Amino acid sequence: MRVAVTGGGGFLGSHLCEALLRRGDSVVCLDNFSTGDPENIAALLAHPAFEFQHADVSVSVKVAGHVDAVAHLASPASPPDYLRHPLETLAVGSRGTENALRLALRHSARFVLASTSEIYGDPLVHPQEETYWGNVNSIGPRSVYDEAKRYAEAVSAAYRRTHGVDVGIARIFNTYGPRMRPHDGRVVSSFITQALTGEPLTIYGDGGQTRSFCYVDDLVRGLVALLDSSELGPFNLGNPVERTVSELAGIVLEMTGSSSEVKHHPLPVDDPVRRRPVITRAREVLGWEPEIDITEGLRRTVAYFAAHTDRLAASAASIRGGQDETVPLAAATAALTPQTIPGPAGAATGVASYAPGATVAGG
- Chain segment 237-253, per-residue pLDDT in tens: 999 999 999 999 999 99
- Distance from C-alpha of 165 to C-alpha of 157, rounded to nearest angstrom: 9
Please tell me whether the overall predicted TM-score, pTM, comes out greater than 0.85 for this model: yes
CA angle (129 as vertex; 143, 244 as ends), nearest 5: 70
Buried b (16+ CB within 10 A) or exposed e, 5-37: bbbbbbbbbbbbbbbbbeeebbbbbbbbbbbbb
pLDDT in tens, 273-294: 889 999 999 999 999 999 999 9
> What per-residue confidence (pLDDT) applies to 317?
67
Closest among 306, 314, 287, 294 to 248, alpha carbons compared = 294
> What per-residue confidence (pLDDT) applies to 322?
52
H and E: helices and strands count for the chain = 12, 13
pLDDT in tens, 12-30: 999 999 999 999 999 999 9
Query: What is the DSSP annotation of 239-291?
Result: ----EEHHHHHHHHHHHHT----EEEEPPPTT--S---B--HHIIIII-----
Positions annotated as catalytic residues are: 145
Residues with Cβ within 8 Å of residue 326, at least 6 apart in sequence: none
As a whole number of Å, the end-to-end CA separation of the chain is 22
User: In sequence order, what are the beta bridge partners of 41?
Assistant: none
Query: What is the DSSP annotation of 61-113?
Result: ---SS--SEEEE--S--SHHHHHHSHHHHHHIIIIIHHHHHHHHHHHT-EEEE
327 confidence band (pLDDT: 50, 70, 90): very low
pLDDT > 60? residue 354: no
- Distance from C-alpha of 359 to C-alpha of 352, rounded to nearest angstrom: 13
pLDDT in tens, 161-181: 999 999 999 999 999 999 999
pLDDT in tens, 294-311: 999 999 999 999 998 888
Which DSSP state fits 360?
A: P
pLDDT, mean over the chain: 88
> What per-residue confidence (pLDDT) applies to 351?
34
Strands 110-116 and 26-31: unpaired
pLDDT > 90? residue 352: no
- Distance from C-alpha of 249 to C-alpha of 213, rounded to nearest angstrom: 13
